[in-house]
Amino acid sequence: MTIADFHYYHYWKNPGWGTPTETLRKVREFSQSDYFANTPPVEGAIQGVKTLKGLGYRLEIVTARALRHQPTTDTWLEKYLPGVIDKVHYTGEFEHSPNVAVSPPPNDPNNAKKVTKASILEMIGAKALIDDSLPNALLCSEVVPVLLFGEYQWNKRPSFDATAQDRMSAALLLGFSVLLRSALLSSSKRTALIQSSEERVLIIGASSGVGRATAVAYAKRGARVAITARRSVVLEQVKQECIKAFNESGHAEQKDTVLAVTADFSDERDMEKVRTAIQRAWSGVDTIVVAAGVSALQPVMSLVEQGGVGRAVTVAVKAIEGNYVGPLVSATTMIPLLESSSKKPAIALISSLAAVVPAPTRAIYCSTKSAGLLLFQSLAIEHPVIKFSNIIPATIEGDFRASAVDGGDVREVLKGALSKEDVAQAIIRAVDTEQRTVWMPSTMRFAPFLYWIWPSFIERKARKKYNFATE
């Protein structure tokens, strides 16, 4: 039996493990064995916990173990984390479960009443919880922020306790979280001030991918759309696609519903031309989506091997132009018009998870995307009247190699990648609700924090994702 056989968080729900009584008896027997006492730590965990301690945090453990396991636990902690853990709290969760008619073990009065993690976290005034259990994460999220780590099987299936009351409580907790999020997202006043049919939208980098999908999505809901890209022939195709989406959705025909301006967003004169065209046609703009950018897919030293340091510098300069200079020129050219002509000005930047988490073969891409993201985050502070939204997606479907400035090949498997249309809808929602940062998928919001406290885990995952092996 391996960890892969642990399909459900509650032991007795795993096929072949036995009845609740039999399963918990086996757990008790295991807890008295040498295997239990000598279990090695998860790879990278020691480094991560020590990093947190070094940052000045007080670290306390809340465990499902019973008090009778304290001597064994203390010995283990002294061996692997001497002086790091400040206190350990024991809930005895799996020693006693009234819902499945399992009584506490003999001579262990401390387990006569089950104590929950949430109640302990509230009692000690915890600021955050790091846990490997989705049920625990859901039940504790009402008390503290929770970081769920690991890709364990038991988090891929519902595993609430046995009674209808417990299942209802969990459902209500999850429902409350969803309702609260929906309430927060619907609180924006932007859509009340700017109706969909009145919105004036500029999409920069609209010839393909997310930019193209976003342009079509805005046109479909009745907005006036201006699109820019360097390829005029493709841009005209996108224009016709937008007009078709607008007309088929039954919106009232308007003059200059779709504008198409061939332009390089890193060229100041080109972007001034775009601004002039929008001023003449619409007298202003409400929303700007910066979807243009380039990729770089090779390890830096591979570039050096191909053509010396000069080759790496050439690629880096091209990436800087596409991922930093372009957003800089387009934003600074359009900000004055945004601020002067819109009731609720907004800018959205399509960034990348690579802007906040490093990855092998992506050194140049990561660093230049990070520069662009920090640029927009800083501009948001300097221009508070404009609502900046930064979209941070993981891998998106499409021809990523087509935009590669180094001619590299795509290494990662694109199965399960985000669809362009889903990202486009996320952009529109973010602008409508004035969200500062959108993570796609939402669980990726924990990746930078996890890299901070457990870098080896993220590095291992990144090497696997990009099929990269060090020699």
DSSP string, 296-315: --S-HHHHHHHHHHHHHHHH
The answer to whether the CB of 361 falls within 8 A of the CB of 300 is: no
pLDDT for the residue numbered 399:
66
In one-letter notation, the amino acid at residue 370 is S
Q: What percent of the chain has pLDDT over 70?
A: 83
Instruction: Compute the average pLDDT of residues 133-138.
Output: 78
pLDDT for the residue numbered 145:
86
Kindly report the CA angle at 244 between 242 and 246, in degrees rounded to 5? 70
Three-state DSSP string of 164-216: HHHHHHHHHHHHHHHHHHHHHHCCCCHHHHCCHHHCEEEEECCCCHHHHHHHH
Determine the distance from the C-alpha atom of residue 397 to the mean position of all C-alpha atoms in its chain, rounded to a whole number: 16
* Contacts with 391 (C-beta within 8 Å, 6 or more apart), sequence order: 348, 349, 350, 351, 423, 426, 427, 430, 438, 440
State pLDDT tens for residues 122-133.
Answer: 778 888 889 888
Q: Is the pLDDT of residue 163 over 50?
A: no
* Whole-number Å distance between alpha carbons of 333 and 354: 26
Alpha helices in 263-411 (DSSP H): 268-282, 300-320, 326-341, 363-382
* Contacts with 1 (C-beta within 8 Å, 6 or more apart), sequence order: none
Element (H, E) at 348: strand 346-350
Q: Is the pLDDT of residue 109 over 50?
A: no
State pLDDT tens for residues 242-285.
Answer: 999 999 888 877 778 999 999 999 999 999 999 999 999 999 99
* Whole-number Å distance between alpha carbons of 4 and 27: 17
* Whole-number Å distance between alpha carbons of 343 and 363: 40
Residue that wins the pLDDT comparison between 204 and 361: 204
pLDDT for the residue numbered 402:
67
Please report how the helices 363-382 and 300-320 are oriented relative to each other, as an axis angle in degrees rounded to 10: 30
Q: Is the pLDDT of residue 41 over 70?
A: yes
Alpha helices in 41-116 (DSSP H): 45-54, 70-80
Instruction: Compute the average pLDDT of residues 69-90.
Output: 90
Lookup: tokens for 291:
């979807």
pLDDT for the residue numbered 86:
92
What SS3 class is residue 390? strand
pLDDT for the residue numbered 2:
66
* Whole-number Å distance between alpha carbons of 47 and 451: 11
* Whole-number Å distance between alpha carbons of 132 and 111: 23
Lookup: tokens for 212:
């193209």
Measured from the Cβ of residue 258, the count of other Cβ atoms closer than 10 Å reads 22
Residue with tokens 């018009």: 337
pLDDT for the residue numbered 103:
43
Q: What are phi and psi of 54, to 5 degrees?
A: -65, -25
Among the ranges given (80-84, 152-156, 340-344), the one the predictor scored with the smallest mean pLDDT? 152-156
pLDDT for the residue numbered 170:
43
Q: What is the DSSP string of 424-457?
A: HHHHHHHHHHT-SEEEESGGGGGHHHHHHH-HHH
Backbone torsion region of residue 414, taken as left when φ is above 0, otherwise alpha when ψ lies between -120 and 50, otherwise beta: alpha
Q: Is the pLDDT of residue 293 over 50?
A: yes
pTM, to two decimals = 0.64
Per-residue CA distances from 402 to 87, 93, 296, 357 (Å): 54, 54, 10, 23
Residue that wins the pLDDT comparison between 145 and 115: 145
Backbone torsion region of residue 19, taken as left when φ is above 0, otherwise alpha when ψ lies between -120 and 50, otherwise beta: beta
Q: Is the pLDDT of residue 426 over 80?
A: yes
Local structure of residue 103 (DSSP, 8 states): P
Instruction: Compute the average pLDDT of residues 68-80.
Output: 88
Among the ranges given (24-33, 206-215, 220-229, 455-464), the one the predictor scored with the smallest mean pLDDT? 24-33
Element (H, E) at 134: helix 134-140
* Contacts with 324 (C-beta within 8 Å, 6 or more apart), sequence order: 368, 371, 372, 375
pLDDT for the residue numbered 35:
74
* Whole-number Å distance between alpha carbons of 471 and 467: 13
Q: Is the pLDDT of residue 177 over 90?
A: no
Residue that wins the pLDDT comparison between 153 and 209: 209
Residue that wins the pLDDT comparison between 148 and 160: 148
Among the ranges given (28-37, 290-299, 335-344, 404-413), the one the predictor scored with the smallest mean pLDDT? 404-413
Q: What percent of the chain has pLDDT over 90?
A: 44
Per-residue CA distances from 377 to 151, 212, 342, 370 (Å): 31, 24, 20, 10
pLDDT band at 416 (very low <50, low <70, confident <90, very high): confident
Q: Which CB contacts under 8 angstroms, 24+ apart, belong to 396-404?
A: 396/209, 396/210, 396/420, 396/423, 398/208, 398/209, 398/210, 399/208, 400/295, 400/297, 401/295, 401/297, 402/208, 403/293, 403/294, 403/295, 403/322, 404/294, 404/295, 404/296, 404/297
pLDDT for the residue numbered 446:
87
Residue that wins the pLDDT comparison between 351 and 13: 351
* Whole-number Å distance between alpha carbons of 84 and 74: 12
User: Domains in the chain, start-ordered, CATH in brackets?
Assistant: 3-99+110-159 (3.40.50), 189-466 (3.40.50.720)
Q: Mean pLDDT of all residues in the chain?
A: 83
Residue that wins the pLDDT comparison between 316 and 56: 316
pLDDT band at 99 (very low <50, low <70, confident <90, very high): very low
